[in-house]
Amino acid sequence: MPSLFESDTIMPTRLDARRNCWKNRSSLEKILILAIVLAIIVVIILGVLLSNKSDLRRTESSCNTTACLIEAGNIMQYVDSETDPCDDFYQFACGNFMKRAHGDDSFRFMDRMASKHKRQVLEVYSEPIVANEPAMVKTAKKLFQSCMDENNLESENLKSIKRAIASVGGWPVLDGDRWNETKFDWLQATYRLRKLGYHHSAFLDLTVEPNRDTHVLKVELPDVFDYSSHNFDKLDFMVETALAFGATNRDKITAEMQLVHNFLIDLQLQTHNNYGSGNSTQYTVAKYQQKYGVVDWLQFLNNLTNPVLTVRKNDTVIFPPAPTMKNWIGLITNTPKRTQANFLIWTVIEKILPYLPDKYQNYNVIWKKPQTLQETCLERIHDKFLPNPIDIMCDRRYLPLQKKRKVEELVSNIQAEFLSSLAGKPEKLQNMVKTMRLAIGQPDDYFSDEIFKKVAVDMIGSGDNSFISLMAQAIRNQRSMLYAKVGQKGGLYDEWYQKALISFIAYNREKNVLYLSSVFTQDEVFSTMRPEYMNYGSLGTTVGHQLSLITQEFGQSENMKCVIRAMRDYRVNLDMPEVNNIVQFSVGSTLAYSAYEKHFKEDQNMLIGLNFTPKQLFWLATTSILCEPVNPYHKFGVNGTLISAKISGFVRHHPNFANDFMCKPGSKMSAAVKCDLV
């Protein structure tokens, strides 16, 4: 998981046995071990704080709630009190953290937030199905729970797969001489597979493409290149898979799958030869039918888009050039039906292998990360729903309305502060800041059950509750959601898609939207129970960091030159993205600091047991999410010089940082000439 300060690492060639033991543990095992260790540390710290509370000179200005005790304990786990904050603020703010992390990336803040969110999602998936839950929540839970049922996973899945194969004419390598080619037609088989939810794009694919602010259907030749097959013998893999599915005569299977393999190579050659034949073009269905009518295109389109879309002959669709299509269909129709059928079913099997037990897929897997069955099932199914109903339920639980409104208030305050700082700047820039939208948790109202209607476009139960069958229903629904976009305005990558891509927080310039994932509104980042200086330091600075991206197209060259000159003191060379990141964090911390000062003029309660002022705690909260584990194999060395320089790069230029920590003029964290980075 990348940090907010992205950097590359050089992996060691050899690790000691203890390090291997840790690395080979699954993510959930690591999470549980770390959670227990951290909980013990926090309990010890809280015990010390509470036992000595008589010596802490508790006053009315001290916050002694449970939330504040936890925050105080967390701060003590990070801060290296032996370091002078005016000499090296990064070491001061993160030194104790780096000692505890021992270079383990799983200690990184972003990794811990992602792991915590994963636990929350798995918790909801694993809960019993409740009668009054939305139907799509029940569907997602049922799919997950069927994946977890290892006892029936293999036997029930194989039955479902074989029923699906039989319904499209069977798999010749399994049926042998019983296979009847008169019952097979590749187009009809394609239609049937689409209806069942299995892979149906072996010969032709139908996608959706944005075009002039709307969406249109696009007929494409499928991608027939297997980019992983250089790691293993593809033909041998095909034969072994057929045997695993019940075929018995290895010699006959090898001969048949050799023909399939040859056909695949012919398709790849045909694809290569088509590169120079022109681009796909828009035609009405009727016009393309006149140019190349071997396929009934209206029937083809409607069989794939049903039930969410009805295509008519005068509708516009993007088609490949007619000569390309003629050569492609010619290759297919001139191939014996038995080979067509073997190839078609092979592509179906190949797509579902990742959902089957290891013995069906180990052949072409070089390395698999250790993970629990829960993690495997989550990986298999979570992206099959967009929006994901379990994500929605998690957001309701962990980002309730009251908290969401407080986050919106924080962002609004920083947005207003940003706009105020842009006086005299181009009107276009100011308007972008004014009109920026915020999407927290989900792009839509996730407290209304209406949101689940966006998920269920084509969910028709088959009565088969095996994992593969339920997965096929979800995949069919997902494809139908894509076809339902046809005729709608907006880019193909709509807000639901954008939300799925955002792990934490990101600004989208094209849509002028700030996406804030619920992963990044965990209590460690924002809590209604802790002082606001902590919230503005962590979440507020990061929000400001993203808002600063709005200004990029208007130029920051002088700011960057100033940062580059300032970084010479640290003897590090920064590329432009790194320099830009420093500028962005400088803007972010300045906006968050100003917004906090403006809306919370009276200093809030200090954290019990700590001698830090609220403004000092603002800076500690800002830095805590950027602390990096010290990796001895890191290309920048064990002292973390680069990340330290980056943190110093924005704090030492802030007009208030030196005053907040009472740094003397000339100290390292008080730049003699401060870069104006806002």
- The tens digit of pLDDT for each residue in 462-507 reads 677 889 999 999 999 999 999 998 988 765 445 555 555 567 888 8
pLDDT at 189 over 90: yes
Binned at pLDDT 50, 70 and 90, residue 339 comes out as: very high
Which residues lie below 8 Å from residue 197, measured CB to CB, with a gap of 6+?
A: 471, 472, 473, 474, 475, 476, 477
User: What distance in Å separates the CA atoms of residue 451 and residue 556, rounded to the nearest whole number?
Assistant: 41
Higher-confidence residue of 495 and 412: namely: 412
| pTM score of the predicted model | 0.82
Binned at pLDDT 50, 70 and 90, residue 455 comes out as: confident
Cβ atoms of residues 84 and 60 within 8 Å = no
User: What distance in Å separates the CA atoms of residue 85 and residue 46, rounded to the nearest whole number?
Assistant: 24
User: What distance in Å separates the CA atoms of residue 377 and residue 503, rounded to the nearest whole number?
Assistant: 19
Tell me what percent of the residues of the chain surpass a pLDDT of 90. Answer: 48
Is residue 150 exposed (0-12), middle (13-18) or buried (19+ Cβ within 10 Å)? exposed
Q: What is the DSSP letter of 305?
A: H
Distances (CA, A) of 637 to 569, 577, 616, 641: 17, 20, 29, 7
Average pLDDT over residues 176-181: 94
User: What distance in Å separates the CA atoms of residue 676 and residue 653, rounded to the nearest whole number?
Assistant: 8
Binned at pLDDT 50, 70 and 90, residue 55 comes out as: very low
Which residues lie below 8 Å from residue 69, measured CB to CB, with a gap of 6+?
A: 46, 49, 50, 608, 609
Question: What DSSP letter does each residue of 365-382 carry, written as one string?
Answer: -S------HHHHHHHHHG
pLDDT at 555 over 80: no
pLDDT at 540 over 90: yes
- The tens digit of pLDDT for each residue in 611-632 reads 999 999 999 999 999 888 876 5
User: What domains can you pick out in the chain, each with its CATH number?
Assistant: 66-107+525-661 (3.40.390.10), 137-382 (1.10.1380.10)
User: What distance in Å separates the CA atoms of residue 158 and residue 160, rounded to the nearest whole number?
Assistant: 5
User: SS3 of 86, please?
Assistant: coil
What does the pLDDT read at residue 308? Answer: 93
What does the pLDDT read at residue 261? Answer: 94
- The tens digit of pLDDT for each residue in 80-136 reads 999 999 999 999 999 999 888 887 878 888 889 999 999 999 999 999 999 999 999
What does the pLDDT read at residue 34? Answer: 55
Higher-confidence residue of 34 and 661: namely: 661
What letter represents residue 662's amino acid? Answer: M
Q: What is the DSSP letter of 537?
A: I
Beta bridge partners of 438: 514
| Token digits of residue 607 | 């954290």
- The tens digit of pLDDT for each residue in 415-437 reads 999 999 888 888 998 999 999 99
Average pLDDT over residues 298-305: 97
pLDDT at 298 over 90: yes
Question: What DSSP letter does each residue of 634-671 carry, written as one string?
Answer: STTTTTTHHHHHHHHHHHTTSTTHHHHTTPPTTSTTS-
Q: In this structure, is the dihedral angle defined by the CA atoms of residues 550, 556, 562 and 568, taken in order, positive or negative?
A: positive
What does the pLDDT read at residue 411? Answer: 96
